[in-house]
Amino acid sequence: MNTKELVEQIYKKKSFLCIGLDVDLNKVPKHLLKLDDPIFEFNKAIIDATQHLAVAYKPNIAFYEAYGIKGWKSLEKTITYLNTNYPEVFTIADAKRGDIGNTSTMYAKAFFEDLQFDSITVAPYMGKDSVEPFLSFEDKHTILLALTSNQGAFDFQTKKIEGKELYKNVIEISKSYHNAQNLMYVVGATKAEYLSEIRGIIPDSFLLVPGVGAQGGNLQEVCKYGINDQVGLLINSSRGIIYASDAEDYAQAAANKALELQKQMEEILLFKK
């Protein structure tokens, strides 16, 4: 999927919501645990109940790998379900990969060719030759960690190197990578005040913004500093949506939470025009 199609979907659904499918079997409704594949059944119900309110879904791979081969199968069924039933949604493998070139190529094959995700999150620490293997998949997107939502972001990302913060160096240098037009960037919702400077460097790029909901980030603040002509934002919420209820009504409860965010986004899009 290209960004033009993503923008069309945003205006059609009046939403730039990404729902994080971070499935923890300790948190899903107990009645699902009797089923063969509780993770997939949970995801399927959440997706069916929210697909008209969200433009993207982001399974965090850790939550699947934690359950071994069974978890990996649940992930495969989830991405196949999305691609078959809702091909218009943008899919993000939140895997935070990145390694020497030939290894990155194998990671890219795993998530782009085998699992058929539209995009993957990648850690920039190993530099150009660790990121370009992902970018060489021309119809896919690589989402580079720029300024993350957690407290540890201040350990390295905001430290200055030759007078400039590391996260700004990451963004600026990555613009020279081969196929850089297929880059998106992660900026945490908890760091909204940094967004105007970030927009100064990458006015047109899409940003994946996690951290609203459970981590306390504020949607209005993020939009105030981060929205651009093409919207340019995918706002992720995981726990705040998918664990709205641990009873049989969990999918409807998730849809209600997604609707709350979608309504706020609709208002922001109206105001923007």
Ligand X SMILES: O=C(O)c1cc(=O)[nH]c(=O)n1[C@@H]1O[C@H](COP(=O)(O)O)[C@@H](O)[C@H]1O
Q: Which of 215, 228, 230, 256 binds ligand X (CB under 6 A)?
A: 215
Q: Near ligand X by CB under 6 A, which window of 1-9, 69-77, 198-206, 212-220?
A: 212-220
Q: Nearest distance from residue 94's CB to ligand X, in Å?
A: 5
| Contact set for ligand X, span 163-202 (CB under 6 A) | 186, 188
Q: Near ligand X by CB under 6 A, which window of 155-163, 167-175, 234-242, 262-270?
A: 234-242
- 3-state SS of the chain is CCHHHHHHHHHHHCCCEEEEECCCCCCCCHHHHHCCCHHHHHHHHHHHHHCCCCCEEEEECHHHHCCHHHHHHHHHHHHHHHHHHCCCCEEEEEEEECCCHHHHHHHHHHHHHHCCCCEEEECCCCCHHHHHHHHCCCCCEEEEEEECCCCCHHHHCCCEECCEEHHHHHHHHHCCCCCHHHEEEEECHHHHHHHHHHHHHCCCCCEEEECECCCCECHHHHHHHHCECCECEEEEECHHHHCCCCCCCHHHHHHHHHHHHHHHHHHHHHHHC
Nearer to ligand X, 105 or 215 (CB): 215
Contact call for residue 119 and ligand X (CB under 6 A)? no
Rg (CA), the chain: 18
The pair phi, psi for residue 235, each rounded to 5°, is -95, 120
d(CA 5, CA 149): 27
Contact 186/177 with Cβ under 8 angstroms? no
| Contact set for ligand X, span 5-34 (CB under 6 A) | 20, 22
Contact 139/116 with Cβ under 8 angstroms? no
d(CA 7, CA 232): 8
| Contact set for ligand X, span 70-99 (CB under 6 A) | 94
Q: Which of 98, 210, 226, 232 binds ligand X (CB under 6 A)?
A: 210
| Contact set for ligand X, span 31-70 (CB under 6 A) | 60
Q: Near ligand X by CB under 6 A, which window of 3-11, 76-84, 231-239, 244-252?
A: 231-239
Nearer to ligand X, 36 or 242 (CB): 242
At 260, list the tokens: 């709350």
Contact call for residue 124 and ligand X (CB under 6 A)? no
User: By rule CB under 6 A, what count of residues binds ligand X?
Assistant: 19
Contact call for residue 226 and ligand X (CB under 6 A)? no
Q: Near ligand X by CB under 6 A, which window of 7-15, 112-120, 171-179, 230-238?
A: 230-238
Q: Nearest distance from residue 36's CB to ligand X, in Å?
A: 25
Nearer to ligand X, 98 or 240 (CB): 240
Q: Which of 15, 74, 104, 148 binds ligand X (CB under 6 A)?
A: 148
Q: Nearest distance from residue 145's CB to ligand X, in Å?
A: 6
Nearer to ligand X, 54 or 186 (CB): 186
Catalytic residues: 96
The pair phi, psi for residue 251, each rounded to 5°, is -70, -40
| List of residues contacting ligand X (CB under 6 A) | 20, 22, 60, 94, 121, 148-149, 186, 188, 210-211, 213-215, 236-240
